[in-house]
């Protein structure tokens, strides 16, 4: 390995409190990423590694896209910032019009945020206010799902289902509850695509309807494919069943598509991919190919029109952020959409489908591999935890992959995969061979 370049590497590692990081161990063996292009990252030691996570499920069109970079630079010269509170600039309106074209009817309106966490909080607030405006003010309960990740705001961790993100933060939002998760390795291990078993788990929502009464439930939020919980796929028929139960009980259905929107599953949205239309979709990440922070919450005509027809004059939704619809983010987003459209990246995962699934499932039978979950272009390779040291095997496989030239993430003992959509078949083969070798070399 090349030596560390001390002109690039900072000497003070304490001023910056890193997000969601084991800071003390990071600082003992820091790794600095200093460049990125296409499918590759470059680190401060001169290594080039394949980006197997599209940044953090967000760089869907690959790194260093000149079209986006140029659009950002041009926008900064024209209008660096204008707020959107009772004011407007054309870019936000234009970007919104283009975006909604890619989302299913009737989700024809988008509220801009700056992140996935903000999108989730925004969606929950819209759901509560919508129910009030409909004269259903008792509908205040928000339902999430075990193992869900909905970002780090108080709303998101309250409906989220990952204990580590919840356990140190007090009472969270009152009035939340959770349906069961759909991970069932015993019945569904090594499924090719969506697992066959578990649609009935959607009926767990009926348990909560029986417990709390439908008239007290405002909304249910789920990730169509759960990402940060370890890539958990919806069983065949599950999402439709959830949709039906929500409709029958007057409960809004929110899909958190912060990672699944913008091509991850072979369509602009998971809603389109699975043919199940929620009332609200939250997005972020791929909306600007991660160049400028941005998010968007897509809502149905019914929800939007309810707000637009309330009796009182003035602000219809007392919610918004200084940077909602930031002109530079909009410019980045429009250039990103150009690329997605020109290169047909929303359907690219379908083109790569067979190769992706076969490569992933070829790991069945390798040492300690207890499940492979795969749907183009997302996946997880679940390793059995080492006795007395859960996560350790996942960490070690991840380290070995990096040394061999592929930067993969481990979530516990699952190796999770979500490469940029520009990936080639050769690169897919290369990644899975690196993972195979790394698994074989790890006890």
Residues within the interface to ligand PLP (CB under 6 A): 57, 115-117, 120, 149-151, 223, 227-228, 256, 258-259, 284
Q: Minimum CB separation from ligand PLP for residue 19, in Å?
A: 9
Q: Minimum CB separation from ligand PLP for residue 232, in Å?
A: 11
In 306-356, at which residue ranges do the beta strands (DSSP E only) sit?
A: none
Q: Can you tell me the distance from the alpha carbon of 165 to that of 168, in angstroms, rounded to the nearest whole number?
A: 8
Strand arrangement of the beta sheet that strand 409-411 belongs to: 369-375, 378-383, 414-417, 409-411
Q: Is the Cβ of residue 258 or residue 428 nearer to ligand PLP in the bound state?
A: 258
Q: Minimum CB separation from ligand PLP for residue 90, in Å?
A: 26
Residue where the block lists tokens 């078949």: 425
**282, 255 contact by CB (below 8 A):** yes
Of 22, 63, 34, 3, residue with least CA distance to 291: 63
* Helix, strand or coil, per DSSP, at residue 79: coil
Q: Minimum CB separation from ligand PLP for residue 132, in Å?
A: 25
Q: Is the Cβ of residue 224 or residue 438 nearer to ligand PLP in the bound state?
A: 224
Contacts of 127 (CB under 8 A, 6+ apart): 142, 218, 219, 252, 254, 279, 280
Q: Is the Cβ of residue 119 or residue 131 nearer to ligand PLP in the bound state?
A: 119
Q: Minimum CB separation from ligand PLP for residue 120, in Å?
A: 5
Q: Minimum CB separation from ligand PLP for residue 230, in Å?
A: 12
Q: Is the Cβ of residue 257 or residue 396 nearer to ligand PLP in the bound state?
A: 257
Q: Is the Cβ of residue 256 or residue 396 nearer to ligand PLP in the bound state?
A: 256
Question: Closest CB to ligand PLP belongs to which residue?
Answer: 116
Q: Is the Cβ of residue 260 or residue 442 nearer to ligand PLP in the bound state?
A: 260
Q: Is the Cβ of residue 154 or residue 307 nearer to ligand PLP in the bound state?
A: 154
Contacts of 146 (CB under 8 A, 6+ apart): 161, 178, 179, 180, 181
Q: Minimum CB separation from ligand PLP for residue 55, in Å?
A: 10
Q: Minimum CB separation from ligand PLP for residue 214, in Å?
A: 26
Helix axes 425-441, 353-361, angle to 10 degrees: 10
Taking phi over 0 as left and psi of -120 to 50 as alpha, with beta for the rest, 170 belongs to: left
**230, 412 contact by CB (below 8 A):** yes
Of 117, 127, 60, residue with least CA distance to 287: 60
Torsion angle of C-alpha atoms 401, 403, 404, 406, degrees rounded to 10? 50
Q: Can you tell me the distance from the alpha carbon of 155 to that of 159, in angstroms, rounded to the nearest whole number?
A: 6
Q: Is the Cβ of residue 127 or residue 363 nearer to ligand PLP in the bound state?
A: 127
């Amino acid at each position: 390995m090349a030596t560390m370049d001390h002109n690039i590497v900072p000497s003070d590692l304490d001023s910056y409190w890193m997000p969601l990081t084991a800071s003390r161990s990071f600082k003992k063996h820091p790794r600095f990423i200093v460049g990125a292009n296409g499918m590759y990252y470059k680190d401060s030691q001169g290594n080039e590694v394949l980006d197997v996570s599209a940044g953090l499920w967000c760089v869907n069109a690959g790194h260093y896209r000149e079209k986006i970079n140029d659009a950002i630079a041009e926008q900064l010269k024209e209008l660096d910032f204008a707020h959107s509170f009772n004011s407007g600039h054309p870019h936000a309106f234009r970007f919104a019009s283009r975006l909604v074209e890619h989302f299913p009817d009737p989700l024809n309106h988008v509220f801009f945020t700056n992140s996935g966490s903000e999108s989730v909080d925004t969606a929950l607030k819209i759901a509560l206010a919508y129910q009030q405006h409909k004269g259903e003010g008792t509908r205040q309960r928000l339902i999430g799902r075990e193992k869900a990740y909905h970002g780090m705001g108080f709303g998101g961790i309250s409906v989220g289902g990952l204990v580590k993100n919840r356990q140190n933060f007090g009472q969270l939002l009152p009035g939340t509850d959770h349906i069961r998760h759909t991970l069932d390795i015993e019945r569904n291990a090594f499924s090719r695509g969506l697992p066959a078993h578990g649609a009935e788990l959607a009926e767990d929502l009926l348990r909560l309807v029986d417990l709390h009464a439908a008239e007290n439930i405002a909304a249910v939020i789920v990730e169509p494919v759960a990402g940060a919980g370890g890539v958990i796929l919806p069983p065949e028929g599950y999402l439709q069943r959830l949709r039906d139960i929500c409709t029958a009980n007057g409960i809004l259905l929110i899909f958190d598509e912060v990672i699944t929107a913008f091509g991850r599953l072979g369509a602009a949205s998971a809603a389109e991919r699975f043919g199940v239309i929620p009332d609200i979709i939250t997005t972020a990440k791929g909306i600007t190919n991660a160049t400028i922070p941005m998010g968007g919450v897509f809502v149905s005509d019914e929800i939007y029109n309810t707000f637009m027809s309330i009796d009182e004059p003035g602000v219809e939704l007392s919610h918004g952020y200084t940077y909602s619809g930031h002109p530079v983010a909009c410019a980045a987003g429009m250039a990103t959409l150009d690329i997605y459209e020109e290169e047909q990246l929303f359907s690219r995962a379908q083109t790569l489908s067979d190769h992706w699934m076969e490569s992933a499932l070829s790991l069945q039978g390798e040492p300690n591999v207890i499940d492979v979950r795969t749907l183009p272009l997302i996946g997880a390779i679940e390793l059995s935890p080492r006795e007395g040291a859960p996560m350790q095997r996942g960490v070690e496989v991840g380290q070995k992959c990096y040394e061999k030239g592929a930067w993969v993430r481990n979530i516990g003992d699952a190796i999770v995969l979500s490469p940029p959509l520009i990936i080639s078949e050769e690169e897919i083969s290369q990644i899975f061979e690196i993972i195979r070798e790394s698994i074989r070399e790890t006890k």
